[in-house]
A and B are shown apart, each in its own frame.
Chain A
Amino acid sequence: MSADTPCAKPLPQILPETAGFWEAARRHRFVVQRCTGCGRRQYFPRAVCHHCLSEALAWEEVSGRGVIHSFTIIRQVQHAGFSSDVPYVYAVIDLDEGFRMIANIIRTPPECVRVGLAVKVAFADVTPELTLLQFESA
């Protein structure tokens, strides 16, 4: 995925409850929410803690390391914004901290990607405000 092409791709919108996540990503830090009520963590960022429904949430940095739970190689374009990327890897990643998330596996040939592959976060700057959390072979 090249990060410097003019971006016709669908982009995240920054919401009050996710602003802290995107602000950290812009500084190449990966943060999740920890609830100051019950002490548990969650990904993706939400307006409330999904464990106890508290709104008292603080940001906490995580390792950005994990393994690929599953993936597919997308060979056919459905959204024009991705036409120069095919084939690309769309993957589910299990983070060491116990979260599961979606990202592309970049800077890694698709034929080398497999279930269980160790990966680490790779920050992809898309616009001055937005940095996506991608992953690459660790």
Chain B
Amino acid sequence: MSLKGRSAIIGFGETTFAKGRQSGGRSHLKEQCTAARLAIQDAGIAKDEIDGLVAIGPLDHGSSWSMDLAEYLQLRPTFLDTPYFGGAAGNAGILHAAAAIQAGLCRTVLLVGGSVSQPGPPAPYGVEDSVSFERDFDTPFGPMGDNSAYALIKRRYQHEFGAGEEGFAQVVVNARRHAGRFDNALLRAPVTVDDVLHSRLICDPLRMFEIVMPCTGAVALVLTSAERARDARQKPVYLLGGGQAIDRGMWTPAYGRDPSLTTSPIRRSASAAFAMAGVTIADIDCLQLYDCYTITVIIALEDVGCCAKGEGAALVAGTDLTVGGDLPVNTDGGQLGRGQPYGACHFMPVIETARQLMGRAGPLQVAGARFGLAHGNGGAMANQCTLILGNEIP
């Protein structure tokens, strides 16, 4: 029995994103509570109707976050989850919640994530509590966290496929173009390909504009049974399919990767999602692809089936991927346009998909959108979770 069409998103909410140095007076819990209130209000349900909670805490908080948030909000869920594997965790949380709803463990799940970004440089990579094989066989060589892991992937991609910089830069240009028309985005100023190519080289071959900016914010959504969704205030956005796939540990940049860093498990997660949904990439009206770096978008475009392997950078450079174009991608600006609030970024692709499919995207609305793809990516392209959603059940 598949999850297809058995649950639906009926509401969502977001706090106002802010840069780290403008985050005074905010706290992790306050952010998440505000987002939760906005989502519950948007869904038009009573707080007491929530009987499931999926919560993703800030990076430095442990696995009991959903219990702690339930206590803070005085929720008494019969289903709890704190998925904790990077940017795939939001979509995975949706799959867990949908399965729990279908199994009768609960009916209406609140999903929430977000955090306050501290100003200043990130904590040194290689903390003592990292998994032993990362600590012993990677960290001693001075990696630069996510930056070096993704730099390795971009370098290898450029080597294998002869890709220049233009496609990568265009990912940023598109993100900023959307962000400039999206209210809750922090990087609204337009940029050109040249601007991106002249931004500072941080970790060869990654430039500053190709790397997300951490920020403060939280988002939340409400997922309920398809039966309950039929009476909801908002147009239900049904979960039609989902799939998850991994090919190694969180940050280990290589050991299990065969044959190349440019091959991602997105092929498997997307195939599973499409098979469950009974639609193909040709049916998808908009794609929201986790975009911590430009290379992530390019490999995701290839591996969800928009083009052949190695053609992603050329696709971005040669196709209009903005609203109004052939294949709208990251229509809210994505993380490269909006900023990356840890915990919230996990749910941003699925929330933007719901916004589009409810017809609530305002100036960025994809006309007549029926089906959307939301993709989450965790670790250094290690963990992938793809969802297909629709405002109808095909």
> Interface on A for B, CB 8 Å cutoff?
9-13, 15, 18, 43-44, 46, 69-76, 78-82, 85, 88, 90-92, 100-104, 115-116, 132, 134
A-B CB contact pairs (8 Å), 7 listed: A12-B140, A72-B155, A76-B202, A78-B122, A92-B152, A92-B253, A102-B254
Q: How far is the CB of A1 from chain B (nearest CB, A)?
A: 8
Contact mask for chain B residues 138-169; partner A; CB cutoff 8 A; 1 contact, 0 none: 11111111001001110110010000000000
State whether B203 touches A76 (Cβ < 8 A): yes
> Interface on B for A, CB 8 Å cutoff?
121-122, 124-126, 132-133, 135-145, 148, 151-153, 155-156, 159, 201-206, 253-255, 257-258, 260-261
B residues near A115, Cβ cutoff 8 Å: 155-156, 159
State whether A88 touches B253 (Cβ < 8 A): no
A75 to B201, CA, bound (A): 8
A residues near B136, Cβ cutoff 8 Å: 12-13, 15, 18, 44
Q: How far is the CB of A66 from chain B (nearest CB, A)?
A: 12
Residue of chain A at shortest CB distance from B260:
A69
Q: How far is the CB of B63 from chain A (nearest CB, A)?
A: 23
Query: Other than the known A15-B136, A88-B142, A115-B155, what 12 A-B pairs have Cβ atoms closer than 8 Å?
Result: A9-B140, A9-B142, A11-B140, A44-B255, A70-B159, A78-B122, A79-B125, A79-B142, A90-B144, A90-B152, A92-B152, A92-B261
B residues near A18, Cβ cutoff 8 Å: 136
State whether A70 touches B152 (Cβ < 8 A): yes
State whether A74 touches B140 (Cβ < 8 A): no
State whether A100 touches B122 (Cβ < 8 A): no
A101 to B140, CA, bound (A): 13
Those 5 A-B pairs whose CB atoms lie nearest each other, nearest first: A72-B151, A12-B136, A70-B156, A115-B159, A79-B124
B residues near A80, Cβ cutoff 8 Å: 124
